Amino acid sequence: MPHALPPVVPGEAVSASVLKDTATIKPLAAFTRLAPVVSLYEPPNTGIPIPASHPTTILFCSWMNALPKHIDYYMRMYMHLFPQTRIILVTITTYE
């Protein structure tokens, strides 16, 4: 089950405490794995339209051999900044 972050006012800075508060959640737990290297985050449906200044989808390609906890830090930041935006995550490893 996806874990949602608290909503944010557009343009508001993301505080470190918001990111730390969700650090106990398993990294990338809000994502559904679609393929070995592709995962999808679908935000909860709030019925509120996506603001015109927000993207509808973010494609995030991780850096080579990034650990899930490090990718998760940036995913939580995007989920906080754009709470109604879908995120497609592509992980890149030398093992694939």
Q: Provide the pLDDT confidence category of residue 54 given band limits of 50, 70 and 90.
A: very high
The per-residue pLDDT for range 68-89, each reduced to its tens digit, is: 999 999 999 999 999 999 999 9
pLDDT in tens, 28-39: 999 999 999 999
Token representation of residue 18? 């918001």
List b or e across 5-28, with b for residues whose CB sees 16 or more CB atoms inside 10 angstroms: beebeeeeeeeeebbeebeeeebb
